[in-house]
Structures are given as structure tokens and as C-alpha cells.
């Protein structure tokens, strides 16, 4: 019996590296452009993280007024005031109105004093 069953199985070779994984890299949208590069500032990073995790950005934007004043305007208003962190952190926790208008800011009693201070420092950097 002639056996010419030369089984040159090439098939396996076809299993080439055809698995292109689709890794779409989503770019995290961070704060808009400010003239100073703040991204390496630890106060900025910490505050940004906290503010993004909380509800702040439903009422505040950096450059524009929304329900609440723009962070940039807040930063400008309190620039140089050494009581600003203490004052603003308290306001973040207790809320209130009357400084920027009649619309009140909701209180945030669940935010710790330390976190509120970190948020206040972040806002103050945005001038």
C-alpha cells in the first residue's frame, strides 16, 4: 500500500497572531486649562479627586458660573486671605447662602474637616 499521506498540516500555522485586543484608552477628562501647571501639585491632585467624587461639580464649574459660583471666581475672591481655607472648608461642610447670591449651597456634613480643607485648597489654586 502506497502511503503518500504526507500530512503536511499547515493548518496550525494559520493560527497566527490575529487577536487584536481593542483597548480603547479613555482619557480622563481633567480640569480645563489654567495658565499654571498644577497637575504635579499634591494639594491640587488630592482636592480634585475629592471634588470629583462628591457632588460639587453638579453645581460648580471651574471657569463658569453654574448653580454655584465658578471655582475660579471663588479663588480670586479669596486670594491672599489667610483665613480662606478655614472659612471655605467650614462653608463646604455647613453650606449656606448670601455671599454670591440667594441660592444656598447644600451642606455636606458627611465630609470630614480634613477633606473639606483639601477641597478648599484645591479651589483656591484655581485662580
- How many Cβ atoms sit within 10 Å of the Cβ of residue 48? 20
* Angle (CA) 75 40 33, round 5°: 55
Shortest distance in whole angstroms from residue 105 CB to ligand HEC: 3
Shortest distance in whole angstroms from residue 43 CB to ligand HEC: 13
Shortest distance in whole angstroms from residue 24 CB to ligand HEC: 30
* CA atoms of 119 and 88, how far apart (whole Å): 9
Cell representation of residue 83: 483665613
Contact flag: residue 56 with ligand HEC (CB under 6 A): yes
The residue among 119, 122, 74 whose CA lies nearest residue 92 is: 119
Contact flag: residue 86 with ligand HEC (CB under 6 A): no
Shortest distance in whole angstroms from residue 49 CB to ligand HEC: 12
* CA atoms of 71 and 63, how far apart (whole Å): 7
Please say which residue, 42 or 98, places its beta carbon nearer to ligand HEC. Answer: 98
Residues 96-125, interacting with ligand HEC (CB under 6 A)? 96-101, 103-106, 108, 111, 119-120, 123
* CA atoms of 46 and 41, how far apart (whole Å): 9
Residues that bind ligand HEC (CB under 6 A): 51, 54-56, 58-60, 67-69, 74, 88, 91-92, 96-101, 103-106, 108, 111, 119-120, 123
Amino acid at each position: 500500500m502506497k502511503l503518500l499521506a504526507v500530512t503536511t498540516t499547515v493548518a496550525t500555522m494559520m493560527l497566527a497572531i490575529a487577536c487584536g485586543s481593542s483597548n480603547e484608552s479613555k482619557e480622563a477628562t481633567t480640569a480645563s486649562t489654567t495658565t499654571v501647571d498644577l497637575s504635579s501639585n499634591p494639594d491640587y491632585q488630592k482636592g480634585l479627586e475629592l471634588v470629583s467624587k462628591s457632588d460639587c461639580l453638579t453645581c460648580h464649574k471651574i471657569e463658569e458660573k453654574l448653580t454655584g459660583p465658578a471655582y475660579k471666581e471663588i479663588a480670586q475672591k479669596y486670594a491672599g486671605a489667610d483665613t480662606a481655607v478655614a472659612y471655605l472648608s467650614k462653608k463646604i461642610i455647613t453650606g449656606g447662602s448670601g455671599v454670591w447670591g440667594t441660592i444656598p449651597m447644600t451642606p455636606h456634613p458627611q465630609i470630614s474637616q480634613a477633606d473639606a480643607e483639601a477641597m478648599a485648597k484645591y479651589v483656591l489654586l484655581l485662580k
